Every structure is written in structure tokens, then in C-alpha cells.
Amino acid sequence: MAWFADLSPCTYFGEECATSLRSVGWLERGRPFATGAVNSEVFVRLVEMVKDPWQPVFFAGVHFCDLCLYEGKSAGVKNVFIPGDGVVFVCPELIAHYTNAHCYRPPDEFCRAALSCPAMRSVLYLKALLANGVRPLVQELTSRRTGRCT
């Protein structure tokens, strides 16, 4: 998995898609990250969101938490897209683990967006994604699959 500073443009899905995607929770050993208490409602919401997130694309391979120092590390393969105010936050599914096990504190604007996010995969959720800039990601990924240039 790649490391991105919180709220930086997320280039994980390509430079073309990064203008509206903001990184949250892309942690890596040796890189600083915010710590502190997280509202329990935010944590519960994150746990719900990582169960079956909307996935515009799947990547092969598993990411293991490199912050854990013990055997049987937590792992993840999915990403979670959360519509914000003019942006879409994208985080790895390990965000709930990072928050619980490593005291990671996501940015406040991300926490507000998580709490106000419509139900995953609902029509309201998809409309919120489109209204906040996910369309270039979907178009770019569609053009890659069909071989068309955008």
C-alpha cells in the first residue's frame, strides 16, 4: 500500500483522478500521523462502512498493517470512499483498525463527513459521491477498461 499524508490529493487511482480525492488514513511505519481520542460514533460508523464499501475498482493483493508488532497482523484489501464538502475522502479499510489499535485520529472534516454519509451503496450515497467529484474517477476507470481515451 502507498503512504499519503492526510487530506493530500490521493494519487493511488492515478494522477487524473486525484483532483477530487483526498487521502485519509494511509498510514505507514516511520511516518507521522495524528493520534488522540475519536468520537465513538465515528468509530462505529467506520466499522459499518468497511464491511461492504462501494468499490469502483479492485486491486490484487493484501495490505498488512505494518504498525502492528505482533504475529497475525490485521489485513485489508478494500478502500472506502466518503463524500465530503466538495471532495471525496478515500481511506483504506484498515482505518477502523488504525483508529482502534494505534490511536489514529482522522481529520475532523473526515469525521464529520463519515457521520453524515448516506448509507453505503444507497442512491443518496451515489448522488453524494457524484456531487463531490467522484465522476472523473469513474470515467477514468471506465476508459481504462474499455481502452478508450478520455
- 150 residues of the chain, pLDDT tens digit each: 689 999 999 998 888 778 899 999 999 999 999 999 999 999 999 999 999 998 887 766 788 898 998 776 798 889 999 999 999 999 999 999 999 999 999 999 999 999 999 999 899 999 999 999 887 776 665 565 544 444
What's the number of domains the chain is made of? 1
**pLDDT tens digits along 1-35:** 689 999 999 998 888 778 899 999 999 999 999 99
In a domain, 33, yes or no: yes
In a domain, 86, yes or no: yes
Q: Computed from CA positions of residues 100, 123, 57, 14, in that sequence, does the dihedral angle turn out positive or negative?
A: negative
List the domain range (segments joined by +) for residue 77.
15-146
pTM of the model: 0.88
Record the cell numbers describing residue 16, joined without a space.
487524473
In a 3-state reduction of DSSP, which class is residue 5?
Answer: coil
Q: So what's the pLDDT on residue 147? A: 46
In a domain, 1, yes or no: no
Phi, psi of 43, rounded to the nearest 5 degrees:
-60, -45
Report yes or no: 54 and 81 within 8 Å, Cβ to Cβ.
yes
In a domain, 8, yes or no: no
Report yes or no: 56 and 137 within 8 Å, Cβ to Cβ.
yes
In a domain, 35, yes or no: yes
In a domain, 45, yes or no: yes
In a domain, 90, yes or no: yes
Which candidate, 28, 109, 121, 136, places its Cα nearest to that of 81? 121
Share of the chain above pLDDT 70, in %: 87
Residues 6+ apart with CB under 8 A from 127: none
